[in-house]
């Protein structure tokens, strides 16, 4: 299964979020950007992580109504003493901002998104 990295758009970069494409059959870039624009309102890295360069890749499955079809699953967690609190903050942000207003796609009953959350500011 191949994945391709999508260039983070400016807003996501400023907020420490990068939209990453899931496998080729998954959501197109526009959907990734729409999700990142919405979740940034709820994303706040743990204060203890200031100065640390942490990132976590999370897989999100959205139902047609924009709600979470399943709990977010961690694809890659940071190997750092602050990793667990960082991942907990990622999950809180995703769950707090749901449901998401996503573009309508009749051929996609559920959408799978892989999103990378980071502490790094650009």
Nearest to 57 by CA among 2, 120, 122, 117: 117
Nearest to 116 by CA among 45, 73, 37, 55: 55
Give the model's confidence band at 106: pLDDT under 50 very low, under 70 low, under 90 confident, else very high: low
Judge whether residue 108 has pLDDT over 70. Answer: no
* Digit-coded pLDDT (tens) for 26-83: 556 678 888 989 999 999 888 877 678 899 999 999 998 899 999 999 999 999 999 9
Domain map of the chain by residue range? 10-118
CATH of 10-118, one of 3.30.1150, 1.10.1760, 3.40.720, 1.10.3210: 3.30.1150
Q: Which two tokens stand for residue 95?
A: 């769950």
For the question of whether the overall pTM of this predicted structure is more than 0.85, the answer is: no
Helix, strand, coil share of the chain (percent; to 5): 30, 20, 50
């Amino acid at each position: 299964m191949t994945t391709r990295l999508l260039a983070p758009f400016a807003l996501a970069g400023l907020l420490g979020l990068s939209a990453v494409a899931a496998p080729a059959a998954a959501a197109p870039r526009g959907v990734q950007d729409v999700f990142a624009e919405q979740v940034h309102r709820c994303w706040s890295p743990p204060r203890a992580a200031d100065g640390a360069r942490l990132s976590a890749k999370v897989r999100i499955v959205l139902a047609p109504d924009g709600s979470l079809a399943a709990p977010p699953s961690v694809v890659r967690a940071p190997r750092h003493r602050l990793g667990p609190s960082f991942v907990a903050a990622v999950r809180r942000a995703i769950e707090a901002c749901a449901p998401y207003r996503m573009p309508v796609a009749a051929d996609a009953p559920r959408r799978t998104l892989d999103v990378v959350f980071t502490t790094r500011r650009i």
